[in-house]
Amino acid sequence: MGSDISYQEKCACAQSSFCTYVEGLENYSQVEKDYLTKIILGNNLSGILYVSSALAAWSFIVGIIDAMLFPGVIVYAIFHGVIDYKVLTPLIVFSVGNFVAKLIYIAANLKGKVKFYDIFITALPYAGSAYLLKKFFVNDQLLFKAVISYLKMKKDIVKKKIFRMFRNNR
């Protein structure tokens, strides 16, 4: 049985790491791979997956910053007995700046693929990555299974790079 995918789609798929990953899966039939390729390319799911991954990393970094800022405010309040605008200003500026930066990033990278309220929800602290994954990938079980497999593979690659980095710095 021949492939249902056109030459242009094969070329477009070769430029997407997610699509290439799906094409290489051995436990999927060619019909399933063709179906997933058409969905991935037709809905720009690689772009959505990329933005979702970037937002997950963004949340991790912001979480570290939040873990330093909020206890700092509490310690200041305990030692000085007051919380005023001088203490809250960095928290507010950071939170608003982070939200606006995420709004701009998401809107620029998903160019019309999502509605404004989706962009707004995705920009909320710590919710973005999960919201995008749920909105675009959960309803199709075959696609969801491929996404989970892909994300696990990417996570393993990142873990190996981090372990290698620490091992080389000894």
Please write the tens of the pLDDT for every residue from 77-112: 777 777 677 777 777 888 899 999 999 999 998 877
Residues whose CB falls within 8 Å of the CB of residue 1, separated by 6 or more in sequence, listed in order: 30, 31
Q: Which residues of the chain fall below pLDDT 50? A: 1-2
For the chain, give every domain's residue range. 1-42+140-170, 45-139
Query: pTM for the full model?
Result: 0.69
- CA nearest neighbour of 21 among 153, 157, 160, 159: 153
What letter represents residue 85's amino acid?
Answer: Y
For residue 106, CA distances in Å to 17, 85, 102 come to: 20, 30, 6
3-state class of 158 per DSSP? Answer: helix
| pLDDT of res. 1 | 44
> What is the chain's percent helix, strand, coil content, to nearest 5?
80, 0, 20
Reported as a single tens digit per residue, the pLDDT across 106-115 is 999 887 788 8
Chain centroid offset of residue 114 CA: 14
| pLDDT of res. 102 | 92
| pLDDT of res. 170 | 64
